Structure 1
């Protein structure tokens, strides 16, 4: 699928030479050469606290120090371009369907803002919003738009340490949106992704995003995860008319294979670990792996 872009400020330039994925646990980083060089730097527990409503970066100076230590300044006065991959729970992502969709971008934005206004618990006028129209694939007028929105204050607080460290973060997305690049482009698939206390579920049908949910877990158990997957499976059967081919799991560590086996027995579709060309995507770097995979299309 084409990777949805959140707040993209450039679209035709070459990809940035640096990419960073942020989480409460740390910073996953890559220099996007061939082959890319990946690393991970742990953060203290109270540097980032992910929320869709309030400041996420609680200790910006500490985060700045970590960014500077991770990629020291190169002596150039020119800003280094970077992609930032934000936590799933920091950004509201949804799929809106339209029977018809205007061709004028300003009319598109007005329509999307109207639809979103009552569904988010913050002021859209002070929010960053990006959308990605997806044609229905059948030649009709129906459009499903992937919409990503977050309070602007949350976005700017994530960007600030990188700007201070000499980066230009001109390309932003979320971890799960980027990780969708690792799923097959054909067929019906479900991404089941865990990052700390957040479970993200995404349904991809023939490369088109149909459903996206980021859920704060009350407790990390197989039963709770399955409890969120049951309504997702029901949605797929009801709205898409078939069962998913595969569940792709990421972020469960040593529990991955036992959880795959248990989910297969409970739900039916094949369950398997998410994979990537540059190593196994983990709890805190799946988006980075997906982003690197997307560069093959650039």
Structure 2
């Protein structure tokens, strides 16, 4: 049953991201004709306060992080509800192929958990599991995007929000909401999926037109995520920690080769790069990846989805910090 709109709580208008080096809050205002960022704040975090990980506690000092959350929210209108973005490195994303999809939801859930139990880095009974239908297989069946995060780790992030006076009504990972932003702003990329479920972690496919493959590279201080999307369906995802001597361009090139050799890729229509990192690192990454792939790499610009007041001058690192929380707010409002 679908409730009338006056009985349904509106989606949060403030996005909050708790990253390893900062807390970002963004207030978004929408009308029938425009979307605007009305307020934002980025509060730096000292090294070690947030350590994204799959199987160990993520927040070292909850009181300090909660104060940073409170400071960011105070600059964004002190909302009571927020859409919360957590680091990619706190989650495990898998692409699960099923030749036959059970018709009963209980059987489907049990099958997914049984399959994920084989590779989960922690007991599946401790996991919060999100499942989204992806591409349909030519031989029947479908591929599913399965995201795992330990419940106690989700609780850590939710707890610092509560301590700061806000309820995290929606929780999602960073890169999925950068994908949302692309889908909502680059309308030449993706097309609707005929058999997708009514609720998706990615943006509604009906918001875009066309059907092409594209890549998104998301840089964070200690890891890099690479997503390849076919239209509006995720077909490849990898998050890996940054180690001494790592070459981002090599990782991107290896991902492209896997896409072409193993996924039947016929070429990437677009490649986007983003990250809330310093300007020099971002510019260097753009240059290196362009050189390695021998093509233009596009910086992802949140201002295509939500305008900033003219008086605000935005540094590239701020554009990167605002992107994921704006993407989550707009996904929920779409």
TM-score bracket, shorter-length normalisation? 0.7 to 0.9
2:45 to 43, 46, 54: 43
Q: Distance in 2 between matches of 1:96 and 1:286?
A: 28
Moved more, 103-112 or 19-28: 103-112
Aligned to 2:301: 275
Q: Distance in 1 between matches of 2:171 and 2:52?
A: 16
Q: Distance in 2 between matches of 1:99 and 1:13?
A: 38
Aligned to 1:203: 228
Structure 1 residue 137, shift from structure 2 partner: 8.2
Aligned to 2:149: 150
Q: Distance in 1 between matches of 2:230 and 2:80?
A: 36
Q: Distance in 1 between matches of 2:333 and 2:126?
A: 35
> Contact 1:102–1:108 (CA<8 Å) still a contact in 2?
yes
RMSD: 2.6
Does the C-alpha gap of structure 1 residues 68 and 241 become closer, same or farther in structure 2, counting only changes over 3 Å?
Answer: closer
Q: Distance in 2 between matches of 1:206 and 1:121?
A: 30
1:179 to 2:178 alignment: yes
Q: Distance in 2 between matches of 1:197 and 1:261?
A: 20
Does the C-alpha gap of structure 1 residues 163 and 295 become closer, same or farther in structure 2, counting only changes over 3 Å?
Answer: same
Aligned residues: 280
> Contact 1:246–1:269 (CA<8 Å) still a contact in 2?
no
Aligned to 1:109: 109
Q: Distance in 1 between matches of 2:287 and 2:49?
A: 36
Structure 1 residue 13, shift from structure 2 partner: 4.2
Structure 1 residue 119, shift from structure 2 partner: 0.8
> Contact 1:191–1:201 (CA<8 Å) still a contact in 2?
yes
Aligned to 2:25: 29
Structure 1 residue 255, shift from structure 2 partner: 3.8
Aligned to 2:249: 226
Aligned to 2:282: 256
Q: Secondary structure at the match of 2:297?
A: strand
1:245 to 255, 258, 269: 269
Q: Distance in 2 between matches of 1:57 and 1:25?
A: 12
Structure 1 residue 275, shift from structure 2 partner: 1.6
Q: Unmatched 5+ residue regions in structure 1?
A: 1-11
Q: Distance in 1 between matches of 2:15 and 2:252?
A: 31
Q: Distance in 1 between matches of 2:29 and 2:245?
A: 37
Q: Unmatched 5+ residue regions in structure 2?
A: 1-7, 31-35, 183-188, 191-210, 309-315
TM-score norm. by structure 2 comes to 0.76
Aligned to 2:58: 56
TM-score norm. by structure 1 comes to 0.85
Does the C-alpha gap of structure 1 residues 129 and 258 become closer, same or farther in structure 2, counting only changes over 3 Å?
Answer: same
> Contact 1:127–1:149 (CA<8 Å) still a contact in 2?
yes
Q: Distance in 1 between matches of 2:330 and 2:301?
A: 11
Moved more, 29-38 or 149-158: 29-38
Does the C-alpha gap of structure 1 residues 282 and 276 become closer, same or farther in structure 2, counting only changes over 3 Å?
Answer: closer
Q: Distance in 2 between matches of 1:210 and 1:84?
A: 24
Does the C-alpha gap of structure 1 residues 38 and 177 become closer, same or farther in structure 2, counting only changes over 3 Å?
Answer: same
